[in-house]
Amino acid sequence: MGLIFNAVAGELPLVQRVWSASCDATTGFSSAVKSSTMIAFARGGDALTVHVKGPETRGTSMTCPEGSEFFGVELRLGAYLPLYPPSGLSDLRDALLPTLPGGRILLDNQGWEMPTAQNVEVFVDRLVRAGLLFFDPLVDEIRHGERPRGMSERIAQIRFRRAVGISHRKLASIEQARHAAQLLTAGRSITDVVAAGGYYDQSQLARAMRWATGHTPGELRSGIPFLAL
């Protein structure tokens, strides 16, 4: 069967979704652009590694090895770990958290119980309570074009980039491209997606899909094996 992927909406305010994946055969797939910080757990054989991941500003071809398992949380936009700023994690420059004997995670000089796919949100909640996972409430305002009262445009953009890891303009292009890719994989016509996605023409859509997913609009419509959105 290859790669099996599942995702559900998060139950905590700072969790966008909880996801898991496994591979019963080595499988290649495309990872599309993303804007949120993630905490991911990867198991290969007896080894379990813990990653803090930042935004991805281009589509990437990846491989899921046979027998590997993954799970994690995609955080709400504006939620991040100050110990690991998102700008330093972009484009697969993951922070690999140390693990201790017995499988505990070393974070902020403390040992944390390793979560499972079933209780990973409990782990996130504990990070929030310990002050290690922060949410900047001004991100939503800046994202929607509202500048906080008394804050200059420059300071607003610096604050946005600190919490998200990319500029407001880059975020907008990522969200636009992801929306278009979702429409194409659902079978919408290229002409419809140009209009619905806010692109000038088919050429601009094609360029956007290339950098965002690594595929052409036609390939997305025809059904590629797997696209991680």
**In this predicted model, what pLDDT tens digit does every residue of 119-141 receive, in sequence order?**
999 999 999 999 999 999 889 88
**Which of the four pLDDT bands, split at 50, 70 and 90, describes residue 1?**
low
Output the pLDDT for position 64: 86
**In this predicted model, what pLDDT tens digit does every residue of 74-93 receive, in sequence order?**
999 999 999 999 999 999 99
Q: How far is CA 100 from CA 48, 97, 107, 114, in A?
A: 11, 10, 10, 10
Q: Which residues pair with 64 in a beta bridge?
A: 27
Q: Which two tokens mark 52? A: 């803090």
Torsion of CA 144, 148, 151, 155, to 10 degrees: -40
Model pTM score? 0.89
The Cα–Cα gap between 97 and 120 comes to: 15
The whole-chain average pLDDT of the chain stands at 90
Q: What's the mean pLDDT in 109-125? A: 93
